[in-house]
Chains A and B, each alone.
Chain A
Amino acid sequence: MMRFLLKGLIRDRSRSLFPLLIVTMGVSITVLVVCWVNGAGGDVIRTNARFFTGHVKIMTRAYAEQADQMPNDLALLKVNELIAGLKKRYPQVRWVPRIRFGGLLDIPDEQGETRTQGPVMGLAVDLINAESREVKMLNLEKALVRGRLPRAPMEILISDEFAKKLGVPLNEPATLIGSTMYGGLAMQNFIVVGTVRFGIAPMDRGAMIADISGVQSALAMDDAAGEVLGFFRNDLYDPATAHRIQSEFNRRFEGNDDEFTPVMLTLEDQNDLGTALRIFESASSIMIFIFVMVMSIVLWNTGLMGSLRRYGEMGVRLAIGESKGHIYGTLILEALVIGFVGSVAGTMLGLSAAYYLQVHGVDISGMVKNSSVLMSNVMRAKISPSSYYIGFIPGFLATVLGSMISGIGIFKRQTAQLFKELEV
């Protein structure tokens, strides 16, 4: 009987091919979109975390209030002690000090006169200590275009675009003109030892990457840092742990109303990443939900059209002595086959496309040229273990559901009525 049904299914294209195409298409699109959202969302979160927000971040309350102005006069003091305490209390997190600063980078000529200058967005991190993972976090080795990584506190990297625009030579001094922690003028000579391109528009416009000890001395920020960032050791943001650490940390300073009191923010509290995170998460679910609805309705309709077309067949089968339940069962069986084959094909197709976009990516640099959002210029899809079933299950369910609903018509109709359709 099974073989008999399959023969019919394969021969009747409108019963097999059309629904199969719908399922395959729907499933592959779902898989691709979910992988894409995964990849893009993950990229935005990861990039922001690494350059900017950490998984958690500690600042002074006052600094936190105007963090986008990088008010280093409100920086955290006694940072070494703070970090030592944090390491003990939260060993699952890596704690790193960072200073963000703005200033002018002045390139002098042989006489020491200004040849050219431009504004830089400075980021000071621990580049030199052997145990530091910052070079890795910022992906500096890959980002390096010319020269080498800094080995001494006064060696810096600048963005390649910036270096080209200003014609900055390598291994020559460049003067940072900024303000000290106490509001005085800061002038410090650095050596540009390399240029970098991150493929992240806001960083590539005018970034200066420096070692934190050099910047601390340049800006008179001895044992001070604007921010202390915390990263989970597996590099994955874990909201529950982040929130737990945050509320525990902040509770310790609750009664304190000093504006230099440290305060901890999670990744979600910064740059609207919480909203972004929720959007990325719900995007997949919404996508799958819409997909199941649309698929079910389309397949239900196909099923209805199919059963209209097949009333003759149903009537004959009833007359021959097949029960309604059995006929209904065979319709579901057909749907199981279509759903399975279509979902497998769709998953394979979707994964192939996603894999292509994971390897090759899509260059969106034109779109994000002037964007201040930290995201890569090349967006990639990301295949995760869930990609293998995220389309399959809804595809399969929608097919079976669609045919279950449309098949109910068989039960609703009087046998004689069904049968009457035969007398045309």
Chain B
Amino acid sequence: MDKAAIITVENVYKSFPMGTGEFTALKEVNLTFGEGEFTGIVGPSGSGKTTLLNIIGSLDVPTKGKAIVMGRNINDLTQKEAADLRNRYLGFIFQTYNLLPVYNVYENVELPLLLLGMPSKERDTAIRQALDWVGLSDKIESRPAQLSGGECQRVAIARAMVKKPKIVLADEPTANLDAKNSHHILRTMEALNRELGTTFIFATHDEKVIRYLRRKVSLEDGKVVADQSMKTQ
């Protein structure tokens, strides 16, 4: 484990109502994540990766147990406090990019800063820097529809990184990308992790991603079955 723990998951269960009974997607999950980690939650489809990521991201609450993120127990947060936590400390990257189609690249990256109420000068500097990190400084005016999948995901990374969050949660970020683009964005994220010390947590079953991980948490049927340090190549 790297440095101080910024995420603690303690004996977490998560069940969903299903038909007459319920379906338990997470069982007895205990995990700690430290600052600057580059970790993957790995498991087959349906093993509970997204569910766990959602709980860490304060988008959902555990049925039992607790999850503490940046010192806050997310069970106790109001809707507004949870939004505030995400706003300040968390960045999200999705499989399907989820850029806002009516806004151009610059504006998509700008949104998180607007929500933080950052003054426009600072905002501009931060946006240009973030687009520089992902190598899209020349596509500022483009709309998402004009970009390739790889470029879209790089915009999404810039959007997640622009406010320099403590933690980035990436759910299957390479699932829609070819090998070349997958490696490109993984190297970008790896570099950001090194430079800024941002914690990256991936949910993935993509071998290409796994090769970059420094820690691999394996999930199966909602249970943690392995938690190993990895040596990167």
| Interface set of A (CB-CB < 8 Å, partner B) | 1, 4, 7-8, 11-12, 312-313, 315-326, 414-416, 419, 422-424
B142 within 8 A of A: no
Interface assignment of B79: CB less than 8 Å from any CB of chain A: yes
Please classify how large the interface on chain B is, using the bins under 10, 10 to 19, 20 to 34, 35 or more.
20 to 34
> Is A323's CB under 8 angstroms from B98's CB?
no
Query: Which residue of B is nearest A2, CB measured?
Result: B114
The one of B57, B84, B110, B111 in contact with A317, judged by C-beta atoms closer than 8 angstroms, is B111
Q: Which residue of B lies closest to A3 (CB)?
A: B114
Partner pick for B98 among A8, A315, A325, A415, CB 8 A cutoff: A315
Q: Which of B27-35, B89-97, B130-138, B217-225 contacts A (4 or more CB under 8 A)?
A: B89-97
| A7 x B88 contact (CB < 8 A) | no
Contacts known (A4-B107, A319-B57, A325-B80); A423 close to B50, Cβ less than 8 A: yes
User: Known contacts being A320-B87, A321-B86, is A8 close to B110, with CB within 8 Å?
Assistant: no
Contacts of B112 in A (CB 8 A): 320-321
A-B contact count (CB 8 A): 83
4 tightest A-B CB contacts, nearest first? A321-B87, A323-B83, A416-B60, A321-B86
B111 proximity list for chain A (CB < 8 A) = 4, 317, 320
Task: From known contacts A416-B59, A419-B54, infer whether A322 and B100 are also in contact, taking CB-CB under 8 Å.
Answer: no
Q: Which residue of A lies closest to B172 (CB)?
A: A423
| Shortest Cβ distance from A416 into B: residue | B60
Partner of A4, one of B50, B87, B114, B116: B114
Which chain B residues lie closer than 8 Å to A419 at the CB level? Answer: 54, 59-60
Taking CB atoms, residues of chain B closer than 8 Å to A317 are 111
**A1-B115, A7-B107, A416-B60 as given contacts; A318 in contact with B100, CB under 8 Å:** no
Asked if B102 is an interface residue, CB under 8 A from chain A, the answer is yes
Given known A-B contacts A8-B100, A319-B59, A416-B59, A1 and B54 have beta carbons under 8 A apart: no
Q: Which residues of B contact A322 (CB under 8 A)?
A: 83, 87, 115
A325 partner residues in chain B, CB cutoff 8 A: 79-80
Query: What's the least CB distance linking B159 to chain A, in Å?
Result: 8
Among A319, A322, A419, chain B packs the most CB atoms within 10 A around the CB of A319
B residues in contact (CB < 8 Å) with A = 50, 54, 57, 59-60, 79-80, 82-88, 90, 92, 94-96, 98-100, 102-103, 107, 110-112, 114-116, 159, 171
Interface of A, helix, strand, loop or mixed by DSSP: helix
Bound together, the chains give a CA A414 to CA B51 distance in angstroms of 14
Tell me whether A12 and B83 are in contact (CB under 8 A). no
Min Cβ gap A317→B in Å is 7
Contacts A321-B86, A323-B80, A424-B96 known; 10 new A-B pairs at CB < 8 A: A4-B111, A7-B102, A11-B103, A316-B94, A319-B90, A320-B111, A321-B83, A321-B112, A415-B59, A416-B54
Known: A318-B59, A320-B87. A422 touches B96 (CB 8 A): yes
| Residues of chain B within 8 A of A313, CB atoms compared | 100
Is B79 a contact partner of A323 (Cβ separation < 8 A)? yes
- Bound Cα distance from A414 to B79, whole angstroms: 10
Q: How far is the CB of B120 from chain A (nearest CB, A)?
A: 10
Q: In the complex the two chains form, what is the Cα distance from A143 to B107 in whole Å?
A: 68
CA A11 – CA B101 in complex, angstroms? 10
Closest to B156 in A: A316
Complex formed: what's the CA distance from A8 to B94 in Å?
22
Bound CA span A155–B94, Å: 95
Q: Which partner residue on chain B sits nearest A317 by CB separation?
A: B111
Is B79's CB under 8 angstroms from A415's CB?
yes
Report yes or no: A422 in contact with B83, Cβ–Cβ below 8 A.
no
B79 adjacent to A321 (CB under 8 Å): no
Nearest chain A CB to B118 CB, angstrom units: 11
Q: With A320-B92, A422-B98 in contact, is A8–B59 under 8 Å at CB?
A: no
A8 touches B115 (CB 8 A): no
Is there contact, CB below 8 Å, between A319 and B96? no
